[in-house]
Amino acid sequence: MKQKNVGIFYIIMAAFFFALMSFFVRKAGDLPTMQKAFFRNAVAMVISFVMLIRSDEGFKIKKGSIFGLNMRSVCGTIGLICNFYAVDHMNISDANMLNKLSPFFAIIMSAFILKEMATGFEWSMVVLAFIGALFVAKPSFNVEAIPALIGAVGGLGAGTAYTFVRKLGKQGERGPVIVMYFSTFSSLVTLPFFIFGYQTMSIKQTLFLLFAGCSAAGGQLSVTKAYTKAPAKEISVFDYSQVIFAAILGFLFLNQTPDIYSMIGYIIIIGAAVIKWRHGMRVDEQDRKVKSNEETFDG
């Protein structure tokens, strides 16, 4: 139970950081997608690089982690680029909703990659949270079908990447190593596009992208910590709190006021998270009682 609580804490922290990242990317204005993506990863790469230099183990990678690191990096990079493309080519609320498919995909992929099967109740809570995200996003797929499809692929990529993060965590791989490997991989992929498609930025735009990169690093480190502490099926629903954080930032700094449908979505998402949390506490308590009774009987 303690590990699960730690996982939930870190997944909520990750949601906050990623909401900040989206906010700063939005404030950076009209810049090429790959330019934004490069800054997001390059800053995270530098931060994780410094963390590893200062650590006792340095850049040492555990035996057997290379495959997982490569798969996390490939899937994560696909998810990142697809998400940024969707944000640049369709309504931002639609793009955010599609990105929030990632926890749903994480639960699906966990069944195949980690053999972690969710219960019927857990599935219902994830679906309920997904319905709440639909209320928030109010998607209009009839207008921009191709960007929406790419955005959905981004959600699949991110969800699969998080599953491999969980697998790496179970193998004992360190969070900064996972972040460093992914950030370096993504930076190398986006670097040619950044160089040849570079658009001059103002000082303010540069600062916003640097802030976005720092927020992304905080989000990556937090989500990596979260999925190394608990299975995706137990904590991924709390990732939907990013919608709440994004709404608060939009209201306070972008003069965006949620409409009635968005408010309904927030209530559904928070309700699903609370119900799932309380159910998990009851189940864990029952399991502890059963185990205690069995130990007493055996004694």
pLDDT digits (tens, 9 = 90+) for 168-178: 888 888 878 88
Low pLDDT (below 70) residues in the chain: 1, 87, 90-97, 103, 136-145, 232-233, 256, 290, 292-299
36: left (phi over 0), alpha (psi -120 to 50) or beta: alpha
H or E, element range at 82 = helix 66-89
Quick count: other Cβ atoms within 10 Å of Cβ 7? 24
Q: Exposed, middle or buried by CB within 10 Å (0-12, 13-18, 19+), for 179?
A: buried
The three-state DSSP-derived secondary structure of 186-224 is: HHHHHHHHHHHCCCCCCHHHHHHHHHHHHHHHHHHHHHH
CA 105 to chain centre: 11
Average per-residue pLDDT for the chain: 81
Please name the amino acid found at residue 153.
V
Show me where the domains of the chain are located. 2-118+144-256
pLDDT digits (tens, 9 = 90+) for 20-36: 888 888 888 888 888 98
Q: What is the pLDDT of residue 189?
A: 92
The three-state DSSP-derived secondary structure of 7-50 is: HHHHHHHHHHHHHHHHHHHHHCCCCCHHHHHHHHHHHHHHHHHH
CA-derived radius of gyration, the chain? 19
Please name the amino acid found at residue 286.
Q
